[in-house]
Amino acid sequence: MSGYSIDAISGAFEKTKKALIQPFDFWKWIKLGIIIILLGVSGVGSQSSGNGQQFAENDFNRDSVGPQIEEMFDQIGQFIQQYMTYILIGVIAFVSIILILSYISNIMEFVFVESLVSNQVKFWAYSKKYMGLGFNLFIIRFILGLAALLLFIGGMLPIIVPMLQSPEILNVRLIIGGIGWFTVVVFVLAVIFGIIESFINLSIPLAMYHHTGIIVALNKIYNNTKADWGQIIVYWVIRIILHIVVAIVVSILALILSMIILGILAAIGMLMYFILSGLNIGLFMWLILALYALVVFVIFFTFVLLASVPAPVFIKYHMLTFLQVWYPDARVPFFDIEENMPA
């Protein structure tokens, strides 16, 4: 059994090179960068926290901690009652913005695929074309998000309920156990919904080029997975490796280039400062430096926008190339399909 996902790497690399470099189109990169930012595929985040506090005792003091927690909840309740109207307005506004951005992000899924498949970035035309499919995808992911939240809450109940019922039982061992259980619950949910999200991503091109709904496309992907599950397992492993390798390579290159660019811009800024200081032009000097700082910001933002393009383009081309081989009836109309046809 050949590894379709391994073979797709070279095809994805060639398509990325042809789409981004042959020839290089500055505005095409900019438009792809905007799509990627709206899509959210270039965002990589990690969070870590720690208060550095060392517990001198294994158990909290029952007499002091219990009343303190009750007092804290009373204060929170009073605050909520006092500012209920403003809190509701803020929550509604925040949720509305999140939902709108999520809807736009789901439309961008189709815009991104169409831009890469056709090698023509038509932001507004593709957005209008796929508003319906984008809304369907938004609803599906919204339901999945609610399901993930409910499963997470249900999974954490064995830890949360005892803590809420008896705050005095809190101790270091229980907290560490809670953190461990939290990690397990998050990991299991991440694997389950990561698999579902992988199926969704594979179904998007099918929905586009088979002119079907997302659910129908998902069913086709699921049926093909049952018939050829080995390729999907290899595909998931290769995808994980590709994400790690690409992230490392792009981060190193972006760091080096950003240091060079910032170094040059900083040197120019220092030179301007010394020259303008010698001219003794007062506040006008700071106005010029402020304008230069704005130019520096625009240049650096543009660099970040351009640097965010190659990695997600390559990753998406890999998925599309794999899909075309793994599911021959996908009918993905690649822009270079004539070049790849046998003579």
The 8-class DSSP code of residue 329 comes to: G
pLDDT tens sequence across 164-183: 666 655 666 777 777 888 89
Q: How far apart are CA 77 and CA 71, in angstroms?
A: 10
Q: How far is CA 16 from CA 8, 45, 309, in A?
A: 12, 25, 10
Q: Is the pLDDT of residue 47 over 90?
A: no
d(CA 54, CA 281) in angstroms, rounded, equals: 56
Q: Look up the pTM and report it.
A: 0.78
Mean per-residue pLDDT for 277-306? 85
* Residue 123 CA: distances (Å) to CA of 115, 127, 201, 312: 8, 6, 20, 17
Could you read off the pLDDT of 294-336 as tens digits, one per residue?
Answer: 988 888 888 888 888 999 999 999 999 999 999 988 888 988 7
Between CA 250 and CA 232 the distance in angstroms is 26
> Crossing angle, helix 229-279 and helix 283-307, to 10 degrees?
170
**Coil, helix or strand at residue 311:** helix
Cβ atoms < 10 Å from Cβ of 110: 22
The whole-number pLDDT of residue 65 equals 45
* % of the chain residues with pLDDT over 90: 46
135 CA to centre of own chain: 19
Q: For residue 29, is pLDDT > 70? A: yes
> What's the CA gap between 100 and 120, in Å, rounded?
26
Are 209 and 333 a contacting pair, CB within 8 Å? yes
Q: Report the pLDDT averaged over residues 228-248.
A: 91
What is the 3-class SS of 132-191, one letter each residue? HHHHHHHHHHHHHHHHHHHHHHHHHHHHHHHHHHCHHHCEHHHHHHHHHHHHHHHHHHHH
